[in-house]
Amino acid sequence: MQKVTRLFDFPYYQLEKHALKEALVSKKNGEWIKTSTQEYIDKANTISRGLLRLGVKPNDKIAVISLTNRTEWNIMDIGILQLGAQNVPIYPTISEEDYAYVLNHSEAKFCFVSCNEVYEKVLSIKDQVKSLENVYSFEEVSNCDSWEKVLELGTDTSNQEEVEKLMNAVTPNDLATLIYTSGTTGRPKGVMLSHNNLVTNAIESSKRFPIEDGKTKALSFLPLCHVYERMLIYLYQFRGVSIYYAESLDKISDNLKETSPHVMTAVPRLLEKVYDKIYAKGTELTGIKKKLFFWAVDLGLRYEPYGQNGWWYETQLSIARKLIFSKWKEGLGGNLGLIASGSAALQPRLSRIFNAAEFGLMEGYGLSETSPVISVNDMREGGFRIGSVGKPIDRTEVKIAADGEICIKGPQVMLGYYKDEEKTKEVIVDGYFLTGDIGELDSDGFLKITDRKKEMFKTSGGKYVAPQLLENRFKQSQFIEQIMVVGESEKMPAALIQPNFEYIKEWAKRKNIPVGDNSDIVTNEKVIARINEEVSLANESFAKWEKIKQFRLTPDVWSMEDGHLTPTMKMKRKIIKQKYIALYNDIYEH
What is the number of structural domains in the chain? 3
Q: Are residues 348 and 440 in the same domain?
A: yes
Give 139 or 270, the one with higher predicted confidence: 139
* Three-state SS at 211: coil
Contacts of 347 (CB under 8 A, 6+ apart): 268, 272, 472, 475, 476
* Three-state SS at 236: helix
pLDDT above 90 (res 186): no
Q: Are residues 369 and 503 in the same domain?
A: no
State the maximum Cα–Cα separation within the chain, in Å, rounded to a whole number.
75
Q: Are residues 107 and 222 in the same domain?
A: yes
CB 214 within 8 A of CB 238: no
**CATH code of the domain covering residue 310:** 3.40.50.12780
Integer Cα distance of 91 and 97 in angstroms: 13
Nearest by Cα to 554 from 584, 530, 533 = 584
Domain-terminating residue out of 452, 486, 502: 452
Q: Is 66 inside a domain boundary?
A: yes
The per-residue pLDDT for range 498-523, each reduced to its tens digit, is 999 988 998 999 899 999 899 999 99
CB 65 within 8 A of CB 137: no
Amino acid 276: pLDDT: 85
pLDDT band at 185 (very low <50, low <70, confident <90, very high): low
Q: Are residues 291 and 231 in the same domain?
A: no
The per-residue pLDDT for range 326-359, each reduced to its tens digit, is 999 999 999 999 999 988 788 898 999 999 999 9
Q: Are residues 201 and 282 in the same domain?
A: no
Domain-terminating residue out of 452, 486, 517: 452
Q: In the chain, how many H helices and how many E strands? A: 22, 27
Which pTM value belongs to this model? 0.88
Mean pLDDT (the chain) is 94
Amino acid 182: pLDDT: 63
Q: Are residues 429 and 393 in the same domain?
A: yes
pLDDT band at 543 (very low <50, low <70, confident <90, very high): confident
The residue segments making up the domain with residue 574 are 457-588
Amino acid 489: pLDDT: 87
Q: Is 343 inside a domain boundary?
A: yes
For residue 278, the surrounding DSSP H or E stretch is helix 268-284
Amino acid 184: pLDDT: 53
Q: Are residues 281 and 158 in the same domain?
A: no
Integer Cα distance of 330 and 320 in angstroms: 14
Q: Are residues 345 and 388 in the same domain?
A: yes
Task: Report, as an integer, the average pLDDT of 400-422.
Answer: 96
Q: Where are the beta strands (DSSP E) in 214-313?
A: 217-220, 242-245, 263-266
- The separation between CA 555 and the C-alpha centre of its own chain, rounded to angstroms, equals 26
Q: Is 2 inside a domain boundary?
A: no
Contacts of 74 (CB under 8 A, 6+ apart): 24, 40, 44, 233
Integer Cα distance of 572 and 183 in angstroms: 8
Q: Are residues 228 and 294 in the same domain?
A: no
**CATH code of the domain covering residue 553:** 3.30.300.30
Q: Is 1 inside a domain boundary?
A: no
Domain-terminating residue out of 429, 452, 475: 452
Amino acid 183: pLDDT: 57
Q: Are residues 119 and 174 in the same domain?
A: yes
Question: CA quadruple 542, 543, 545, 549: dihedral positive or negative?
Answer: positive
CB 275 within 8 A of CB 353: yes
